[in-house]
Structure 1
Amino acid sequence: MPLLDALSPLSPSLGGLLILLSVVTSAFTAAFGVGGGVLMIMALAQVMPAAALIPVHGMVQLGSNVGRTTMTWRHVDRNTLLFFVPGVILGALAAAWLVIRLPAGVLELCIAAFVLFTCWGPGVPKRALHGAGIVVAGAVTTLLSSLVGASGPMVAAFVKQRQEGRLAKVATFSACMSLQHLTKIFVFGMAGFVFREWLGLMVAMVVAGLVGTWLGLKLLHRLSEHHFDNLFKWALTLLALRLVWLGVSRWSGMA
C-alpha cells in the first residue's frame, strides 16, 4: 500500500479502485466506441474534490485516447482532424476565459438532445459534416469538455455520421478526443490547478488504460459491423438519457 498511498491525496484503497476502473472504462470505449469517459467521470465525482475532477479526468482520458489512437492510427480520418483542430483551439480559448456559465442542468440537456437527435432523428445536415461544420463542432465540444468534463457522447454522435466502418469511428473519435483533452493542460493550468499533486495517480491510470484499450480492441475485432453499429447507437442513447436525468435534477434543484 505505500506505493498507492504516494500516488495522490486519496486513500490507497480508492487509488487502487480507480486504477482498476481505468482498465474497465478504456476497454469499454475501445470495444463500443464511446462511454468510458462518462463512466469514469461519474466514478471520480464520488470520491474526488470538485476542483480536481475535470483536470484529472482529462489527463487520464488524454492518455487513454492517445493510446487508442496510436493503436488504430491507420484508420484515422485525417480530413476530419484538419478541420477539427482550429475548432479545438477556439473552444479552448473560450473555456480559458469564460466567466458566464449557463444555468445548472441546461448544458446537460442540450448535449442529450443533440445526441438523441443524431441517433434517432433524420441526422445532422450533410453540410454540417464538412469544412466549417467540423470547425464549429470542434469548438463547441471542446468548450463543453472543459465545462462538464465529458463531451464524448457529442463528439461520438458527430463522428458516427461522418465515418464508415467501426475502426474508422473508434480511431477518429479517439484522435478528436485526444486533441480536446490536451487543451485541458492549458485551460486548467491558467486556472491555477496543480497537476503535480495528482501526477502519480494519473500516470498509473493511464498505464492501466492502455491495458484496457488493448483488451477492448481485441473485442472490437470480434464484433460484426451490424452489431457494432447497434451497440454504438444504444451506448450513446443510454448516456444521453443519463444526461437528461442529471440535467433535470440539477435544473430543478436550482429552480
Structure 2
Amino acid sequence: MAFDTFAFLPDGLALGAAIVLIALSFFTSALTAAFGLGGGMAMLAALGLVMPPAILVPVHGAIQLGSNAGRAMVQRRHIQWHTVLWFALGAIPGAMVGGGFAVALPETLFRVLIAAFILYSLWGPQPDITGRGPLANLMAGVLISGLGMITGVSGPLVANFLRKIDDRRRLIATHATIMTSSNLAKVAVFSALGFAFSTYLPLVLAMIASGFAGTLLGSRLLEHMPEKAFRLGFRLVLSLMAIEMLRSAVFW
C-alpha cells in the first residue's frame, strides 16, 4: 500500500498550506526567541486563514506550548523561577474560568482594551509602581491566562507584565517559561472540554519541530544583540502586535 501523506493532515487542510505553516513556524519562533514575542500572534493570524475559530485557539495553544517549551529549555539558565512558579499556579484557575467563557463572550471589546492598555503602558506616562511579589504574580497568572482562553493570545500581556526585568536573557527565558505554563493549562482545559487534539497532532508536532530550529537561530541572534537595540526592538514589536489586535478587533 502506498504511503498516504494526506492521511496525516486534518480534513480540509491542503498539503501546500501545511508546508507553509510548518515553514512559518520556523520564522515566527526565531522572531520570538530574538525579541521575546511577535511569533505567537503572527502564527495565530496564519492559522486563522485556514481554520475556523473553534479549532484555531486550541490548535494554536498546542503549537505554542511546544514552541515556548523549546525556547525555555534552550534558555533555561536565565529563567526567573520565583516569578514563573506563582504565575503558573494562577494560570490553572484562570484557564478554567476563561475556558467557561471562551465560547460565550464576544472578544472584540477584550482585544480593544488589551491593545489600548499595552500601547499606553509602552508609550504613556508610567506610575511609580515597584510592587512585585507572589500575590501579584499569582493574580497576573489568573487574569492573563483567563483572557488568553478568550482572545487566543496572551504573549503581549505577559511581555508587558515582565517588561521591567532588566536583563534581556532573563526576560526572554522567563516569558517563554510563563507562556509554557499558560499554554499547558489552555491545552488541558480544551482537552477536558472535549477538543480532539489527536486529529491535529501530526501537524502540530511538525510545526513544533520546525519551531525549535527557529528558536535555536533566534537565541543566537539574541546573544549577539546589543541591549539598547533589543529594548527598542522589543517595544516596537510589542506595539505592532497591539496595533494588529486593534485592527483585527475593529475590522474582522
- Scaled by the length of structure 2, the TM-score of the pair is 0.93
Q: What letter matches 1:32 in structure 2?
A: F
Q: In structure 2, do the counterparts of structure 1 residues 53 and 79 end up closer, same or farther at CA, with 3 Å as the change threshold?
A: same
- Offset at 1:191? 2.1
- Offset at 1:152? 0.7
Q: In structure 2, do the counterparts of structure 1 residues 130 and 117 end up closer, same or farther at CA, with 3 Å as the change threshold?
A: farther
Q: Greater shift after overlay, 2-11 or 225-234?
A: 2-11
Q: Percent identity?
A: 38
Q: What's 1:53 paired with?
A: 56
Task: Indicate which of 101, 108, 113 corresponds to 1:105.
Answer: 108
Q: In structure 2, do the counterparts of structure 1 residues 195 and 103 end up closer, same or farther at CA, with 3 Å as the change threshold?
A: closer
In 1, Cα distance between equivalents of 2:28 and 2:83: 25
2:102 and 2:149 in contact (8 A); partners too: no
Task: Indicate which of 124, 135, 138 corresponds to 2:138.
Answer: 135
- Scaled by the length of structure 1, the TM-score of the pair is 0.91
Q: What letter matches 2:40 in structure 1?
A: G
2:107 and 2:150 in contact (8 A); partners too: no
Q: What's 1:253 paired with?
A: none
Q: In structure 2, do the counterparts of structure 1 residues 99 and 201 end up closer, same or farther at CA, with 3 Å as the change threshold?
A: closer
> The residue matched to 1:138 in structure 2 has which SS?
helix
2:115 and 2:245 in contact (8 A); partners too: yes
Task: Indicate which of 146, 156, 160 corresponds to 1:157.
Answer: 160
Task: Indicate which of 80, 85, 89 corresponds to 1:77.
Answer: 80
Structure 1 residues 1-255: aligned runs within 5 Å: 2-3=4-5, 6-9=8-11, 10-98=13-101, 101-123=104-126, 126-127=129-130, 129-161=132-164, 163-249=165-251
Q: In structure 2, do the counterparts of structure 1 residues 153 and 99 end up closer, same or farther at CA, with 3 Å as the change threshold?
A: closer
> The residue matched to 1:231 in structure 2 has which SS?
helix
In 2, Cα distance between equivalents of 1:40 and 1:48: 12
Q: In structure 2, do the counterparts of structure 1 residues 219 and 184 end up closer, same or farther at CA, with 3 Å as the change threshold?
A: same
1:96 and 1:190 in contact (8 A); partners too: no
- Offset at 1:186? 1.9
- Offset at 1:222? 1.6
1:114 and 1:154 in contact (8 A); partners too: no
2:112 and 2:249 in contact (8 A); partners too: yes
Q: Deviations over 1:94-114 (max 9, x none)?
A: 123337854441000111122
Q: What letter matches 2:122 in structure 1?
A: C
- Offset at 1:86? 2.1
Q: What letter matches 1:222 in structure 2?
A: H
The number of residues matched between the two structures is 249
Q: What letter matches 2:232 in structure 1?
A: N
Q: In structure 2, do the counterparts of structure 1 residues 210 and 4 end up closer, same or farther at CA, with 3 Å as the change threshold?
A: farther
- Offset at 1:8? 2.6
Q: What letter matches 2:158 in structure 1?
A: V
> The residue matched to 2:206 in structure 1 has which SS?
helix
> The residue matched to 1:126 in structure 2 has which SS?
coil
- Offset at 1:4? 5.4
State the superposition RMSD in angstroms. 1.8
In 2, Cα distance between equivalents of 1:204 and 1:130: 38
Q: In structure 2, do the counterparts of structure 1 residues 36 and 114 end up closer, same or farther at CA, with 3 Å as the change threshold?
A: same
Q: Which runs of 5+ in 1 are unaligned?
A: 251-255
In 2, Cα distance between equivalents of 1:215 and 1:3: 29
